[in-house]
Amino acid sequence: MGLWRFADVVAFRTYARLCLARKDAAWADATIEAMRSRYPANLDGVPQIVVPSPNSEPARDFLAGLRPDLVIARCKMILKPAILELPRVGTFVLHPGICPEYRNAHGCFWALARRDHERVGMTLLKADAGVDTGPIYLQAGCDIDEVHESHTVIQHRVVLENLDAIGRILVTLSRGEQVPVIPTGGRRSADWGQPRLTDYLRWKRTARREARSRDARRIAAVS
């Protein structure tokens, strides 16, 4: 990465903790409450285990005992084949980014920073040994407010606002029915790293300038 880019990443993490974390946490709390109302369920009887790593032996034994049809992996670790291959249908990832162009954990951030609006979204894929390289079953986005929302909120929303479509596909696959795979041949593939403060500030500055320009055009059209 180099010393300068490393410092840029550290600077962003400091900025995010001081300036973004509280607002993002409040949004998350409100969203979780809304989701509980939308999808009411009693989770008291759901088996749980807390482990230091999803690749640990206790995690494997726990999953093997459950004999799951499918697993949704919501972690930032590469899972070992012993875990990936346990579910009957497979292990699936709700990736906050459009693959293969924006692989790794911060796809939405880099699409926004690069002004690639058509690829600000999420990807439902079946996990394999690579980093977000498995077969893709869904790619979707949602309306965003990049001036007022952080990339963290945006990358959660592109998943949450497509839960119904995600659910239908996973249920279909669990029944053994076919779901068309989205072809990715010929598309650029890139593995992106951590957000950097310079890119974040440039993104926000550009987004505000573009919003002001749109507002001015609307006012001119009305007058």
| DSSP notation for 3-52 | HHHHHHHHHHHHHIIIIIHHHHHHHHHHHHHHHHHHS----TTS-----S
Query: Tokens 């040994």 belong to which residue?
Result: 129
pTM beyond cutoff 0.95: no
Query: Residue 131 above 80 pLDDT?
Result: no
Give exposure, 159-179, as e/b (b: 16+ Cβ within 10 Å): bbebeeebeebbeebeeeeee
**151-160 helix and 21-38 helix, angle to the nearest 10 degrees:** 10
Q: For residue range 45-90, list pLDDT tens digits in order.
A: 899 999 999 999 999 999 999 999 999 998 778 889 889 989 999 9
Bridge partners (DSSP) listed for residue 73? 93
Pairing of strands 90-95, 70-73: parallel
Q: For residue range 152-166, list pLDDT tens digits in order.
A: 999 999 999 999 999
Q: For residue range 172-198, list pLDDT tens digits in order.
A: 999 999 999 999 888 888 888 899 999
Domain regions of the chain by residue span: 68-218
Query: 181: part of which helix (H) or strand (E)?
Result: none
How many residues does the structure list for the chain?
223
Q: Which CATH superfamily is domain 68-218 in?
A: Formyl transferase, N-terminal domain (3.40.50.170)
